[in-house]
């Protein structure tokens, strides 16, 4: 790595840091890592539900981001670009895991039985009255109770804002399966959040 | 609003994924279908809740330690400057060179193995077209030379 010219890294915008990093400036890249590392780690943790794997994949994502930095054209924000890298790493790992273990009965049931299973429809306001941090924690808990397959479509749709067809392409499933999984996952989340609310009121 | 298709259509409506004509149909249906309205409202509420309360997490390592591990991995993989002009130029050439070499190899192998390539044009030269590889071969027995044109 070539020596870098001294810049005011903390004050520079992401776009500027990226430009510097693209010339081989590792200090600029370190500043980018510092700014966005929690977001990248959080996304990996949300998908993998395992701290060691989340740490591993988040670091791997940064290494790949450095290696592919020349390909970054600024079509999205830098943070979004790196987030997509870590998501791809997680999806690869989830596919490998799926090969060596059987999907849960719940997931198989959903795939074969349709979406009209009698889980409650999402309540209008299942979490009224909860504090914001508490609500985040409850949502995280509920996401943790979904299968990998269901959680993945929720993360890609709700948090990454991807359309059905893009999710289908990334995960390697049909659009119909995306819709089915998303619907089931949402009903399950609504049910879990309602349960949490009931626990809290008891 | 009982079957799968209807439920998934309502979800697609909430997600803005319905075609225009189907979207109009759903909008026409909603005033008269309380169950459908309840589902649409619930899905919207849940989606809004998730998007505004995305769970967060903090890397369980100091800035220095986290970066040192990344840097070590970058160096271990002998990564050069990501924009080294020579590397970029080489990659550009390889993009064309590799397929070209592949085609050339196929032509050579075909011409060596195919009986048609052995067509000798006594005393002079001539053209033999290998239609399946879009190439033309000129062979001169007298000169002992074979030339391949790749199209």
The pLDDT value recorded for residue B38 is 93
Residue B147: the pLDDT is 59
Contact B45 A182 (CB under 8 A): no
CATH topology (fold) of A9-99: Rna Polymerase Sigma Factor; Chain: A (1.10.1740)
Q: What is the mean pLDDT of chain B?
A: 72
Residues of chain A neighbouring B60 (CB-CB closer than 8 A): 51, 55
The answer to which of B15-24, B64-73, B75-84 has the lowest mean pLDDT is B75-84
Edge-to-edge strands of the sheet including B135-140?
A: B125-130, B135-140, B145-150
Query: At which residue do the structure tokens 């049910």 appear?
Result: A191
Summarised one tens digit per residue, pLDDT across range B84-130 is 433 443 444 455 555 666 655 655 554 555 444 433 333 334 444 44
Q: Is ipTM > 0.95 here?
A: no
Mean pLDDT of B19-46: 95
Please give the pLDDT value at position B5: 81
CATH architecture of A104-201: Orthogonal Bundle (1.10)
Please tell me the distance in Å from B44's CA to the nearest CA on chain A.
9
User: Which carries the bigger pLDDT value, residue A9 or residue B149?
Assistant: A9
A37:B59 CB<8 A: yes
User: Is B56's pLDDT higher than 80?
Assistant: yes
Residues B14-38 have a mean pLDDT of 95
Residues in B touching A22 (Cβ below 8 Å): 82-83
Q: Which residues of B116-150 are buried (b: 16+ CB within 10 A; e: fewer)?
A: ebeeeeeeeeeebebeebebebebeeeeeebebee
Mean pLDDT by 10 residues, chain A (202 residues): 72 97 96 98 97 98 97 95 98 86 50 47 56 90 95 97 97 96 95 75 60
User: Inter-chain contact B83–A69, Cβ cutoff 8 Å?
Assistant: yes
- Give the pLDDT band of residue B132 (cuts 50, 70, 90): very low
- Which of A5-14, B55-64, B133-142 shows the lowest per-residue confidence on average (mean pLDDT)? B133-142
| Structural domain spans, chain A | 9-99, 104-201
The predicted structure's pLDDT at residue A98: 78
Number of Cβ within a 10 Å radius of residue A75: 7
Q: Return d(Cα A148, Cα A91) in angstroms, integer.
A: 10
Between the two ends of chain A, the Cα-to-Cα distance in Å is: 60
Which residues does chain A have within 8 Å of residue B58's beta carbon, measured at their own beta carbons? Answer: 38, 41-42
Domain assignments of chain B as residue spans, ordered by start:
1-80, 89-150
Residue that has been written with the tokens 């429809």 in this structure? A121
């Amino acid at each position: 790595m070539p020596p870098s010219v001294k810049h005011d890294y903390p004050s520079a915008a992401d776009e500027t840091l990226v430009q510097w990093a693209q010339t081989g400036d590792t200090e600029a890249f370190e500043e980018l890592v510092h700014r966005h590392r929690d977001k990248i780690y959080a996304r990996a943790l949300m998908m993998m539900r395992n701290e060691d794997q989340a740490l591993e994949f988040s670091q791997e994502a940064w290494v790949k981001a450095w290696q592919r930095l020349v390909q970054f054209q600024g079509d999205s924000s830098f943070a979004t670009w790196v987030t997509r890298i870590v998501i791809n790493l997680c999806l690869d790992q989830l596919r490998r895991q799926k090969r060596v273990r059987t999907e849960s009965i719940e997931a198989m049931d959903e795939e074969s039985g349709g979406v009209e299973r009698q889980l409650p429809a999402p309540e209008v306001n299942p979490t009224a009255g909860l504090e914001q941090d508490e609500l985040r924690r409850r949502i995280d808990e509920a996401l943790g109770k979904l299968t990998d397959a269901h959680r993945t479509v929720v993360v890609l749709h709700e948090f990454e804002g991807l359309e059905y067809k893009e999710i289908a392409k990334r995960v390697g499933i049909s659009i119909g399966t995306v819709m089915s999984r998303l619907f089931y996952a949402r009903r399950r989340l609504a049910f879990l959040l309602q349960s949490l609310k009931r626990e809290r009121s008891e | 609003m009982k079957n799968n298709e209807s439920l998934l259509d309502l979800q697609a409506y909430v997600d803005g994924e319905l075609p225009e004509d189907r979207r109009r149909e759903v909008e026409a249906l909603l005033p008269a279908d309380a169950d459908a309205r309840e589902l649409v409202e619930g899905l919207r509420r849940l989606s809004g809740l998730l998007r505004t309360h995305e769970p967060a997490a903090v890397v369980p390592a100091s800035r220095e330690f986290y970066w040192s591990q990344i840097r070590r991995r970058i160096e271990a993989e002998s990564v050069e400057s990501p924009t080294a002009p020579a590397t970029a130029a080489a990659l550009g050439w390889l993009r064309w060179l590799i397929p070209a070499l592949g085609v050339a190899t196929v032509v050579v192998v075909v011409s060596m193995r195919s009986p048609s390539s052995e067509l000798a044009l006594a005393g002079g030269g001539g053209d033999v077209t290998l239609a399946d590889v879009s190439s033309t071969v000129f062979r001169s027995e007298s000169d002992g030379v074979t030339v391949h044109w790749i199209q």
